[in-house]
Amino acid sequence: MNATPYLTPQQIIDRFSARFGNGLTEAKVTERGEGTRKVKAYNLWFRIDREQLRPAIEELIAIRFPHLAVIAGNDLGTDIELLYIFSVFYGQKFGEYMVTIAIRLPKSDLTVPTITDLIPGALFSEREKQEFFGITVTGIPDGRRLFLPEDFPKGVYPWRKDETGIPPEMIKNLWEVDRPKDRPVPPIPEKAPAPEGKKEGGESP
């Protein structure tokens, strides 16, 4: 399982560019160091065409079997962008990278092939994207709703920012419930200046 060699971030980018060429629209590395020694941690970001999704994931599996963290999504107006966030080379001290593979789906054709045959753990994430963005994952073994209740109106996709998002009538302001409307809001009293010395924590009954 660990027979594949360890690669640097630039080597991974080169491998992807070599394989996908023009299909790879963007590739970059960001890094961050924390603590006193500022040991660096690297994130790789790839943006590829939709058709190259499964070959890209297979390429990543060939590098080393990744761990799928989650599938995130963005609503970009005319497209929906899906980000498959992986992490590779776990087990290597200070050497894990986060690899994000992002694809764009035009809103006119919101289908994407499933990856559960390569990575069965992606099932939950794909079901969640189906119900929250309204995309269709072709070939998914179990396409039921995951988090939203069954009687949630169809056609309403909570994370979209266009007209299929949550309409204002569905939002309930809990703090307003039962608030009396026939009198004005009481004025906020002026804050008294703090007394000299440490203030004792009050005993609340």
Partner 1 sequence: MSAEKAKKTVPYTVPIGPVHPALKEPVMFTFGMEGEIVRTVDFAPGQTHRGIEWMGMRRNPVQIVHLTDRICGICGIVHSLSFARAVEQIAEIEVPERADYIRTILHELERIQSHLLWAGVAAHELGFDSLFYLAWRVREQSMDLIENLTGNRVNYGIVQIGGVRRDISDEQRALVEKGLDYYQGLLDQMATLFLKDSTILMRCRGHGILSGDDARLLCTVGPTARASGLNMDVRQDYPYCAYGDLDVKAILPPPETGGPQGDVYDRIIVRLLEVGQSIGIIRQCLGQLPAGEILWEPKMAKLLSVLKKAEGEGIGRVEAPRGECMHYVKMAGKEAPDSWKVKASSYSNLMSWIPMLQGEQLADIPIIVASIDPCLSCTDRVAVTRNGQSDILTKEDLTRLSREKTRRMMQ
Partner 2 sequence: MKIPTSFNRSLWVFHLNTGSCNGCEIEIVATITPRYDPERFGIRLVGSPKHADVLLVTGPVTKKMAPRVRRVFEQVPDPKVVMCIGTCGQSGGVFYDSYNLDGPIDQVIPVDVYVPGCPPRPEAIVFGVVKALQKLERLEAEQ
Per-residue binder mask for partner 2 (CB under 8 A), 154-173, x = binder: ----x-------x---xxxx
Binding partner selected for residue 37 from partner 2, partner 1, none, CB under the kind-specific 5 to 8 Å limit: partner 1
**Which DSSP helix (H) or strand (E) runs through 60?**
helix 53-63
Binding flags for partner 1, 168-197, as an x/- string (CB under 8 A): ------------------------------
- Kindly tell me the sign of the dihedral angle through the C-alpha atoms of 172, 176, 181, 187: negative
Which positions ≥6 away from 77 have C-beta within 8 Å? Answer: 161, 162
CA distance 82 to 102: 6
State the DSSP code for 187.
P
Q: Cβ 127 to partner 1, closest distance in Å?
A: 11
Question: Considering only residues 8-37, where is the footprint of partner 1 by CB under 8 A?
Answer: 30, 32-37
Q: Which of 92, 106, 111, 162 binds partner 1 (CB under 8 A)?
A: 92
For partner 2, which is the closer residue by CB, 171 or 194? 171
Amino acid letter at 73?
G
Amino acid at 137: V
Q: Which residues bind partner 2 (CB under 8 A)?
A: 148-149, 151-152, 158, 166, 170-175, 177-178
